[in-house]
Amino acid sequence: MRKATMRLMAFTATAAITFSSLNIDAFAASKDKVSSVMPQAGITYALGNNQVSLSNLQQSVELEKSDNTASKSSSDGIDSSNTVTDVTPLASTITDNILSDIQNATGAVIKKRADSAAEAASKTPEEEEEEMFRSLVIAQVTNYINVRSLPSEEGEVVGKLYDKSVGTYIEEQDGWYKIKSGSVEGYVKAEFCVTGDDAVELAKKVGTRIATVTTTTLKVRNGAGLDAEVIGLVPIEDELVVEEELDGWVKVSIEEGDGYVSTDYVTLSTEFVKAESKAEEEARLAKERAAREAATKAAKSSTSKSSSSSNYNSASSYTTESSSIGSAVAQFALQFVGNPYVYGGTSLTNGADCSGFVMSVYNNFGVSLPHSSGADRSVGAAVDGLANAQPGDIICYSGHVAIYIGGGQIVHASTAKTGIKVSNADYRTVLAVRRIF
């Protein structure tokens, strides 16, 4: 956790993902550990490089409201002068906000359809929402489908629509949907997508609602009110998964458990995977490839110069010709189990928070990472799920980050109560798996 200072990109190319002239329009996932495809959208895996993160436009309304309220105490944002007083929870508006962000990102307006004004007025909010969701096109494949310039396999491949990626429906022609998603506009085979009624329920699950902290230190409470107990602290620019939206508060997930934060100190946005053009893919892969080569070179140089202390082994002592650098990272990190958790700390011996721990471990291998669990979701190359994780990979959760050590386990700086410890990697919902080496 902490403000990002640098984003390091790395990559291992996989031949199954590169563009080719083959007329194949749906692809299964590669068996390789690192994947150049976008992971599944939504809560399970969220990629930094190709996500869409759009501000909640309703925040401007909240700012206007604050001009008419009395002076408030700085209870939840430690460096802020505003807070929430009286709060009445309302029904969740997550799906409405996700839909709005998807409309803005795809560049097309999702129109409500009604035969008459009377029919429109008679519809419930749920029915109106379903009408709008029917205008989406959502990929439902193992990996990705090609977006082509023409409604035919003879058309040029102009992009890729990844599993559970969202596009906006334009028209249908001979078993092909014309869509717009991100910068990509073209045709996808209808048999590999869902739209209309089939898209209604799926559309509500493809976006991950995120609250980004805007104050130096944010208090997370066990209830939606200022009298509720504080269960944890979150630093500025950290990103938390939103589970419910209320009036003035959102329910979020942190390492200490689920809690509530005031919307005065976060910005709300929706993340989902969009289509990627051919040019965008090529640029991303080249950048990741170069960054991985630089990281490997830095690690070899750094570990050859490192020295051990009286109580701990150096990074170089774990680096051998027969073991990977990732395995060395995991073994090096494990020797600090039992040391304390300190909010904002970066010391492997005297105390570190979750991202400070990951940052300091990798620093011993010559790699600079941000002191921010949210920013760690964008470093390195994407790994296609926890099942493909290797020792040394970075495992990202809502407001938390850890290092994978193999065997389905992680080492991480957990909480002030538990310190640095080993846990099962699936103890919480995984947002992303990233690989540096």
Task: Report whether pLDDT(29) > 60.
Answer: no
| Any domain includes 4 | no
| Residue 22 · residue 137 · CB < 8 Å | no
Q: What percent of the chain is predicted at pLDDT more than 90? A: 50
Please check whether residues 261 and 399 belong to one and the same domain: no
pLDDT band at 300 (very low <50, low <70, confident <90, very high): confident
As to burial, measured by CB atoms within 10 angstroms (0-12 exposed, 13-18 middle, 19+ buried), residue 104 is: middle
Tracing tokens 């105390």 back to the chain, one arrives at 351
E strands present in 149-214: 157-162, 166-173, 176-181, 184-189, 193-194, 208-213
Q: What is the pLDDT of residue 57?
A: 27
Q: What is the pLDDT of residues 338-392, one digit of tens each?
A: 999 999 999 999 999 999 999 999 999 999 999 999 999 999 998 988 999 999 9
| Any domain includes 131 | yes
Find the mean pLDDT for residues 285-291: 88
Please check whether residues 244 and 393 belong to one and the same domain: no
Q: What is the pLDDT of residue 206?
A: 78
Average pLDDT, whole number, for the chain? 77
Task: Report whether pLDDT(65) > 70.
Answer: no
Q: What is the pLDDT of residue 49?
A: 35
Q: What is the pLDDT of residue 424?
A: 97
| Residue 349 · residue 337 · CB < 8 Å | no
Please check whether residues 347 and 222 belong to one and the same domain: no
pLDDT band at 422 (very low <50, low <70, confident <90, very high): very high
Return the CATH number at 219. 2.30.30.40
φ/ψ region of 417 (left if φ > 0, alpha if ψ in -120 to 50, else beta) reads alpha
Number of domains in the chain: 2
Name the residue type at position 307.
Answer: S
Q: What is the pLDDT of residue 98?
A: 66
| Any domain includes 347 | yes
Please check whether residues 354 and 431 belong to one and the same domain: yes
Q: What is the pLDDT of residue 302?
A: 74
As to burial, measured by CB atoms within 10 angstroms (0-12 exposed, 13-18 middle, 19+ buried), residue 15 is: exposed
**Cα(145)–Cα(148) distance, rounded to whole angstroms?**
10
Please tell me the least confidently modeled range out of 89-103, 160-174, 258-272, 290-304: 89-103
Cβ density class 302-324: b for 16+ within 10 Å, e for less: bbeebeeeeeeeebbbbbeeeee
Please check whether residues 356 and 431 belong to one and the same domain: yes
Find the mean pLDDT for residues 42-54: 32
Q: What is the pLDDT of residue 401?
A: 97
Q: What is the pLDDT of residue 278?
A: 92
| Any domain includes 63 | yes
What is the token pair recorded at 188?
């996808």
pLDDT band at 136 (very low <50, low <70, confident <90, very high): confident
Please check whether residues 327 and 408 belong to one and the same domain: yes
Find the mean pLDDT for residues 79-108: 50
Please check whether residues 300 and 262 belong to one and the same domain: no
Q: What is the pLDDT of residue 31?
A: 44
| Residue that is last in its domain, among 221, 241, 271 | 271
Return the CATH number at 349. 3.90.1720.10
| Residue that is last in its domain, among 220, 237, 271 | 271
Task: Report whether pLDDT(410) > 90.
Answer: yes
Q: What is the pLDDT of residue 19?
A: 38
Find the mean pLDDT for residues 418-430: 96
CA neighbor of 32 nearest in space, from 410, 293, 383: 383
Q: What is the pLDDT of residue 6?
A: 38
Please check whether residues 258 and 377 belong to one and the same domain: no
Please check whether residues 91 and 238 belong to one and the same domain: yes
pLDDT band at 153 (very low <50, low <70, confident <90, very high): very high
Find the mean pLDDT for residues 105-122: 55
Q: Whole-model pTM?
A: 0.70
Q: What is the pLDDT of residues 204-255, one digit of tens each?
A: 777 788 999 999 999 999 999 999 999 999 999 999 999 999 999 999 999 9
Name the residue type at position 100.
Answer: S
pLDDT band at 24 (very low <50, low <70, confident <90, very high): low
Tracing tokens 């809560």 back to the chain, one arrives at 43
| Any domain includes 265 | yes
Q: What percent of the chain is predicted at pLDDT more than 70? A: 68
What is the token pair recorded at 116?
């008459």
Please check whether residues 116 and 252 belong to one and the same domain: yes
Contacts of 200 (CB under 8 A, 6+ apart): 130, 133, 134
Side-chain half-sphere CA neighbours of 12 within 13 A: 14
| Any domain includes 24 | no
Please check whether residues 249 and 386 belong to one and the same domain: no
| Residue 235 · residue 77 · CB < 8 Å | no
Q: What is the pLDDT of residue 319?
A: 77
pLDDT band at 198 (very low <50, low <70, confident <90, very high): confident
| Any domain includes 174 | no
Instruction: Provide the residue range defining the domain that includes 361.
Output: 288-435
CA angle 409, 338, 321 (to 5 degrees): 55
